[in-house]
Amino acid sequence: EIVMTQSPATLSVSPGERATLSCRASQTISNNLVWYQQKRGQAPRLLIYGASTRATDIPARFSGSGSGTEFTLTISSLQSEDFALYYCQQFNSWPLTFGQGTKVEIK
Amino acid sequence: EVQLVESGGDLAQPGGSLRLSCEVSGFTFSIYAMTWVRQAPGKGLEWVSGISVGGGIKYYADSVKGRFTVSRDNSKNTLYLQMNSLRAEDTAVYYCARKHGAGDYNFYMDVWGKGTTVTVSS
């Protein structure tokens, strides 16, 4: 099983600032990684697939990068609606596995 | 509008059974693979099961293998999860989700239901 490790667990950021979230895979997964956003009481929403491609209707302030074992989600200028939980997920091999999540909170 | 609506969540006793359903609309169900993902209270996301377009290939997390069975009825646009031998640690919100893109490869999810709550307790 591929273990996905996200850091930090919590990120405190002021509105308008940049947020950088990390996700590490325990073995190489090429670019078979996605990022989801989850707000309280809601289902996850797909943000980024293929490590760097924005999903439909996702604002350009969200960007993803990385390949192999190290991945980054960057939110260039945080808006109030961006304060949420973020999860990475690998789909390189079964079982599908998620990171434990990064909470982005208001500083 | 694309929609996935889960149902069947309930309070069950340890060792008991439940069947979850996920009725979909707004897209051609028969050409999409599907998954179940759960989230225990206050915890992260855990993938549970996946099923191929035709239903012939099924995948399970080790934590549910041998206890849960995923199936689909393409004529009814419905995905199912039969849950047997339930344990307290199965308590969670269960989401059904559509795999992005037609076909059975690259299993990540682009459309999610709102979830149904399963509580296992005596």
Per-residue model confidence as pLDDT tens digits over B66-77: 999 999 999 999
Q: What pLDDT, on a 0 to 100 scale, did the predictor assign at position A65?
A: 98
What local confidence, expressed as pLDDT, does residue A77 receive? 93
- Type of residue at A70: E
Task: Return the pLDDT at B95.
Answer: 98
The shortest C-alpha distance from B68 to chain A (Å) reads: 15
CA distance A87 to A6: 8
Closest-CA residue of chain A to B96: A43
Mutate to test the interface with B, among A91, A93, A102, A103 (most CBs of B within 10 A): A91
User: Cβ neighbours of residue B13 under 8 Å, at least 6 residues apart?
Assistant: B86, B120, B121, B122
- Other Cβ atoms closer than 10 A to B55: 16
Of B8, B30, B7, B18, the C-alpha closest to B76 is: B30
- Give the C-alpha separation, B56 to B104, whole Å: 11
* Below-50 pLDDT ranges, chain B: none
- pLDDT given at position B122: 95
Q: Which among B85, B96, B93 has a CA at the least distance from the CA of B4?
A: B96
Lookup result for tokens 């273990």: A3
Chain B residue numbers with beta carbons less than 8 Å from the beta carbon of A6 are: none
Which one, of B56, B54, B70, B67, lies nearest residue B21 by Cα? B70
Is the predicted pLDDT of residue A39 greater than 90, yes or no? Answer: yes
- If you measure CA to CA, which chain B residue comes closest to A56? B110
Please report where in the chains the tokens 């590490």 appear, as a residue: A24
What are A's interface residues with B at a Cβ cutoff of 8 A?
A: 1, 32, 34, 36, 38, 42-46, 49, 55-56, 87, 89, 91, 94-101
pLDDT value of residue A63: 98
